[in-house]
Amino acid sequence: MPTRSMPRILLSTFCLLSSLLAVPVLAGGEVNIYSARKEDLIKPLLDDFSKQTGVAVNLVTGKEEALLQRLQSEGVNTPADVLLTSDAGRLSAAQKAGVLQAVQSKALMTQVPASYRDPAGYWYGLSVRARPVIYARDRVKPGDLSTYEALADPKWKGRLCVRSSDSVYNQSLVAGMIAHHGEAKAEVWAKGLVANFARPPKGGDRDQIKVVAAGECDLTLANTYYLGGMVTSQDEAEKQAAAKVAVFWPDAKTTGVHVNVSGAGVTAHARNRDNAVRLLEFLVSDSAQRWYAETNNEYPVNPAIPPSATLKAWGEFKADTLNVAKLGELNAAAVQVMDRAGWK
């Protein structure tokens, strides 16, 4: 390698690199987003927003905690105007860290029900995910199922598959248990659940659904949009697996099905505050809410918007009315409960 010219090679590489970063500026100004939602799950909506308003949207995705850390360490100079997350707990953590500001907007208040937003307006839910029981049609009678609590019953020994307690979905579910029953009871329940595991926890929600379909276990807990993704999948095997399982909505007579939201808040030091609020309002508008339902197989936060045909097929359910902010507060306690229960 002609190493003499290395500085020159380096320089030209950097010039090329920086040319990659040229960002088109639209007439309507811009809005910058830190998103813990994957690009595919939000970008199409953002493109629509740009088209309608002329506001350029700049996006960087990542994991919740890393984005929160980035916001915190950047302080007043942060370029981010909006923090988007896939879990309400993380939004309340961001609020506590002081990186969000309260927003009062009539559109947001009317479109988003009270249990799906922060009472003071620091963040708003955008879409709802539900975590019901999913069971094998040929091996489980829905009549045998009732509540989350009943899953700890020894009759399900060796018949239950659940993913790892590293998953925020399970952490949030256990946080809900703690909110309703207290830590001690939640731990007893978690121990019972662990005793019923057919195998050590591993893989994601789709993996659990697939092994239920294949017969390694009889039931699991999974978010509905994963099942929705399998029903509409291009992959024949996934479609067939989805056909072998069914959804059971637990806790219909008690506290209701465990739900959580994806949501967003405007950052404390947003430079494009008005555009940020406009974006939030756009995301809860009827057309955007319909997109969540049709494309992502999520439930809209706005109860007036009907869910997609796929979701309708699973029937209606009673959602837990606990404010989702509570789940965030109890998340750390939930992780410890799961550690003590031996939930890997």
Partner 1 sequence: MEVDSPHRQPLFRWKRGVWARADRWSLLVVGVALALALPVLTVFVTALQPPGAVWRHLADTVLADYLWNSVSLMLGVGAGALLIGAPAAWLTSIHEFPGRRWFEWALLLPMAIPAYIIAYTYTGLLDFAGPLQTALREWFHWTRRDYWFPEVRSLPGAVAMLALVLYPYVYLLARAAFLDQSVAVLEVSRSLGAGPWRRFFAVALPMARPALIAGVSLAQMEALADYGTVQYFGVSAFTTGIFRVWHGMGDSAAAAQLAALLLLFVFALLVFERLSRRRARFHPAGNRRHRPARVALRGKRRWLAAAACLMPLLFGFLIPAGQLAVWAARTAPQVLDGRFLQLLANSLLLALGAALLILLLALVLGYGRRLRPWPLTRLAVWGAGLGYAVPGTVIAIGVMLPFAAIDRGLDGWARQWFGVSTGLLLSGTLTALLFAYCARFLPVALHGVEAGLARVRPSMDDAARSLGAGPRAVLWRIHVPMLRGSLLTAVLLVFVDVLKELPATLILRPFNFNTLAVRAYELASDERLADSASFALAIVLAGIGPVVLLSRAIGRSRPGYDAVP
Residues that bind partner 1 (CB under 8 A): 1, 3-4, 6, 9-10, 13-14, 16-18, 20-21, 23, 32, 38-41, 58-66, 69-70, 73-75, 77-79, 93, 164, 166, 168, 171, 199-207, 210-211, 213-216, 226, 229, 234-235, 241, 331-332, 334-336, 339-340, 344
- Give the shortest CB-343-to-partner 1 separation in angstroms: 10
Nearer Cβ to partner 1 (158/182): 158
Contacts of 63 (CB under 8 A, 6+ apart): 36
- Give the shortest CB-59-to-partner 1 separation in angstroms: 6
- Give the shortest CB-333-to-partner 1 separation in angstroms: 9
For tokens 């662990």, what's the residue? 194
Question: Hey, is 287 helix, strand or coil?
Answer: helix
- Give the shortest CB-248-to-partner 1 separation in angstroms: 21
Contact 130, 224 (CB under 8 A): yes
- Give the shortest CB-302-to-partner 1 separation in angstroms: 24
In whole angstroms, what is the distance from residue 165 CA to residue 324 CA? Answer: 19
In whole angstroms, what is the distance from residue 242 CA to residue 227 CA? Answer: 7
Enter the tokens of residue 19. 């040319």
Nearer Cβ to partner 1 (193/319): 193
- Give the shortest CB-63-to-partner 1 separation in angstroms: 7
Contact 265, 99 (CB under 8 A): no
Characterise 77 by phi-psi region: left (phi > 0), alpha (psi -120 to 50), beta (else): alpha
Nearer Cβ to partner 1 (51/254): 51
Cβ count within 10 A of residue 269 = 17
Q: Are strands 124-130 and 245-248 parallel, antiparallel or unpaired?
A: unpaired
Q: How far is CA 335 from the centre of its chain?
A: 17
Nearer Cβ to partner 1 (114/332): 332
User: In this structure, what DSSP letter does residue 117 have?
Assistant: B
Nearer Cβ to partner 1 (78/323): 78
Nearer Cβ to partner 1 (214/313): 214
- Give the shortest CB-202-to-partner 1 separation in angstroms: 4
Contact 344, 200 (CB under 8 A): yes
Nearer Cβ to partner 1 (108/173): 173
